[in-house]
Amino acid sequence: MNKPNHPASLLVVATAMCAALYAVGCYATASIPSPWGFGQFRPAVIIPALFGAIFGPIPAAIGAAMGTLIADSTKHGTLYMGSLLAAVPGNFIGFYIFGYIVKKFNWTRFISASVITLVVANAIVAFLYVFLFKAIYMQTLEFSPDVLTFLSLGLTIYWFVTMLPFILLVTPLLIRAVAQAMPTIVPEEVRVNSLETELPKTSFSLATIVPGVIMVLIGLATTFTQLGAYTESAGKLSGTLMIELMYYIGGATLIIIGFLALVKQKMKKP
C-alpha cells in the first residue's frame, strides 16, 4: 500500500494551509510563556503532525517553518530573528523527520515519530535560541556555556512535556476525521489504520509514562538538590516554584494518561 500520488498543486495548497493554520494556532497561545519567561506554550504542533501524516514530510516541514515564523513575527511586529535563527530550522528538521517516519504509516510509527520529533525539534530550537540568538545575537544572556546548556535543556523539557499529550491525544482524532471526510486525499495506509485500528496502548503508555517519571525525578532534584539553585541562576529567577510545578504537574499528567491507557486496555480484554 503506497501513498497516493498527490499532484504538485495539492502539495502546494497543503503546505500553505499547514503554514496558515500553524501560524494561527501558535499565535493563539503566544502570550503563555515558559517558566523561564521566554519560549511559549505551543499545542499547535498537532497541525504539522496532521499534515505530515497525510501529505508527507515536505508540506509538514515547510508549513511548520513558515507558520512559526509568521506567528512569531506577528507577535513582535517585525521579522523576528529569534524565530528565523532557531524556530524555523528546528520546526523544519523536526517535522521533516516526522513526515519521513510515518510515510509507512501505522500507529506504532506515529507514536515513535511523535517522541523523536519533539525531542529533536525542541532541542534544536532551544539550543539555537539560547546560544545563537539570546547569548550571541542579542547578548542578553551572559552566562557560562554550562549554564546556557542547562537552560537549553530546561526549555527542551518544557516544550516536550507540554506538547506530547496534545500530539498523542488530539492528532489521531484529526487524522481519523480527515480520513472519514476526505478519503481520496488520505493515503491508504493512513486511512486503514486510522479507521480500523486503535493506538497500541502499551506503546502509547510507555511513550507517556517514561517521560512523566523523568519529569517528576527532575522536579525532585530541583526541590531537594543544588539543581534548584542552578535553575534559579540560569533563568535569572527569584525562585524555582514555577519550574518545580511544571515538572511535577507535567510529569504527573503524563503518568496518569499512560496508566489510564493501560487500564482501558485491560478492561477491553475478555
The per-residue pLDDT for range 74-129, each reduced to its tens digit, is 999 999 999 999 999 999 999 999 999 999 999 999 999 999 999 999 999 999 99
Contact 108, 203 (CB under 8 A): yes
Identify the pLDDT of residue 2. Answer: 46
Angstrom CA distances, 30 to 16, 41, 69, stand at 21, 7, 12
Identify the pLDDT of residue 266. Answer: 73
pLDDT for 263 beyond 90: no
Rounded CA separation 209/8 (Å):
40
Identify the pLDDT of residue 15. Answer: 98
Q: If pLDDT is split at 50, 70 and 90, which confidence band does 4 have? A: low
Do 191 and 224 sit in the same domain of this protein?
no
Do 193 and 243 sit in the same domain of this protein?
no
In a domain, 270, yes or no: no
Identify the pLDDT of residue 242. Answer: 86
Identify the pLDDT of residue 150. Answer: 84
Do 85 and 190 sit in the same domain of this protein?
yes
% of the chain beyond a pLDDT of 70: 96
More confident residue, 236 or 39: 39
Q: Which of 157, 175, 199 is the last residue of a domain?
A: 199
- DSSP assignments along 131-171, one per residue: IIIIIIIS------HHHHHHHHHHHHHHHHHHHHHHHHHTH
Kind and range of the H or E element at 98? helix 88-101
Do 33 and 90 sit in the same domain of this protein?
yes
| Average pLDDT score, the chain | 90
Q: Give the number of other CB atoms < 10 A from CB of residue 12.
A: 13
Q: Give the number of other CB atoms < 10 A from CB of residue 242.
A: 13
Q: Which of 177, 199, 221 is the last residue of a domain?
A: 199
Which cell is 58 given?
515536505
Do 206 and 173 sit in the same domain of this protein?
no
In which residue are the cell numbers 503554514 written?
Answer: 19
